[in-house]
A = this chain, B = another copy of it.
């Protein structure tokens, strides 16, 4: 790490000092992800200059690692010829990634600089729904026929391998392009030259349909530890592959989405610092309004028990700590269940198991918290009526049990109703638990204090 930040500083210095030839020579040997990072660190007016300094293939490779804004700026600034060079060198999935986010004029600029075949492919890709397996795949894979020998196959890999995203997993198709087998390069390497592909390949191939969600692809990669996954169309024809490096991005995206939903945010693909303030506000205001309106329920409940508060106004002081503790207890449970369902460790059929566990956990935590609260109150606030302390403690214990139960059930119930479990987490659960906590509180108070 030390090393890389020093390198970055050195490049910056060369850039300032105008040592462009030296820089060019070094960059063309460098990892494209590092070049992209360097480029993004440069002031906007130097980015284009540096990009043009790079060799064609290096430029194309670095381009695919750049963030969308920089990509768009570059494509907008370079000539048609330069666009053609980059698109020629890039893997199709990276081009499509760029086009999915780019404004129309840049999409046109790219499309008019690609050959007809690539253009058709790109158009087909752009029609796949966002977050589908089809939108994630690449078409640069090695395909073999059953009748080939291992020797033939190796020849094909040697001849075409440079342009393929991976050569380490080869797929076998029949004359109708249907997927019939998979053959890891490792097996090919260890095989006799004359063995047929049919005899070497694995026939039971796990594949995914173009229209399936990328989450399903991530699940398959997790379960089987694949390096690549074939994508098939409705007729089981092989149309592309998904590679594991793209799945890392999918997993990051999906978790960010879950976290955002759990924090009452509309999910967004954009990086925080690059999202305009109005967009950020838009993503947040929806849930804030919904929750404020539903939070009115608490006000209604409190107003309904106004007479109790009129009589014992000190009770009001304990409302936040009771709703707060209930909210925390509920969120703890729902967060565990939501994450457990995302990782397929908890399934809807486990609902009663979950309820049983949560009630038990709630009882343990509830009794401890109630005792702690009672002790704290009698020790540090001896002036408070002991019946008020008792009311708060009893309520706290009961709220924790109920909150745990609701927190455990809500996400599963959501899943069963085909709603999103993550949405049922943090925000919604606190609203429900707040209302329940207040109802318990006032009932216990009526019983113990009045």
Contacts and interface: CB of A to CB of B under 8 A. Distances in A.
A168 interface: yes
A332 B186 contact: no
A363 to B, nearest CB: 9
A299 B345 CA distance: 40
A316 B310 CA distance: 10
A170 interface: no
Contacts of A247: 248
A316 B339 CA distance: 36
Contacts of A252: 222, 251, 343
A259 B345 CA distance: 16
A245 interface: yes
A122 interface: no
A340 B251 contact: no
Contacts of A340: 271-273
A280 interface: yes
A431 interface: yes
Contact of A30 (B204, B327, B334, B345): B204
Interface of chain A: mostly helix, strand, loop or mixed = helix
Contacts of A287: 328, 332
Contact of A325 (B162, B260, B292, B360): B292
A29 interface: yes
A443 interface: no
A284 B107 CA distance: 51
Nearest to A289: B372
Contacts of A328: 264, 287-288, 291, 427, 430
Contacts of A225: 33, 245, 248
A320 B321 contact: no
A227 to B, nearest CB: 7
Given A255-B255, A340-B271, A288 B346 contact: no
B353 A324 contact: no
* Interface size band for A: 35 or more
Contacts of A345: 271-273
Contacts of A320: 295, 298-299, 302, 319-320, 323, 434, 438
The CB with the most chain B CB atoms within 10 A, among A161, A328, A426, is that of A328
**How many copies make up the complex?**
2
Contacts of A376: 293, 296
A317 B442 CA distance: 13
A434 B336 CA distance: 25
Interface in A144-182: 154, 157-158, 161-162, 167-168
A365 B314 contact: no
Interface in A225-281: 225-227, 244-245, 247-249, 251-252, 255-256, 258-260, 262-265, 271-273, 277-278, 280-281
Contacts of A346: 272-273
22 contacts: A1-B216, A33-B223, A33-B224, A157-B189, A158-B190, A227-B244, A247-B248, A256-B339, A259-B262, A259-B335, A265-B336, A273-B345, A273-B350, A273-B353, A277-B361, A288-B328, A288-B365, A289-B372, A295-B324, A299-B317, A324-B430, A327-B327
Given A263-B331, A272-B346, 12 more contacts: A168-B186, A259-B259, A259-B335, A264-B328, A264-B332, A271-B340, A271-B345, A285-B369, A288-B325, A295-B320, A299-B321, A324-B434
- Top 3 closest pairs, chain A to chain B, by CB: A263-B335, A298-B320, A225-B245
Interface of A: 1, 29-31, 33, 37, 154, 157-158, 161-162, 167-168, 185-186, 189-190, 204, 206, 216, 221-227, 244-245, 247-249, 251-252, 255-256, 258-260, 262-265, 271-273, 277-278, 280-281, 284-285, 287-289, 291-293, 295-296, 298-300, 302-303, 306, 309-310, 313-314, 316-321, 323-325, 327-329, 331-332, 334-337, 339-340, 343, 345-346, 350, 353-354, 357, 360-361, 364-365, 368-369, 372-373, 376, 396, 400, 426-427, 430-431, 434, 438
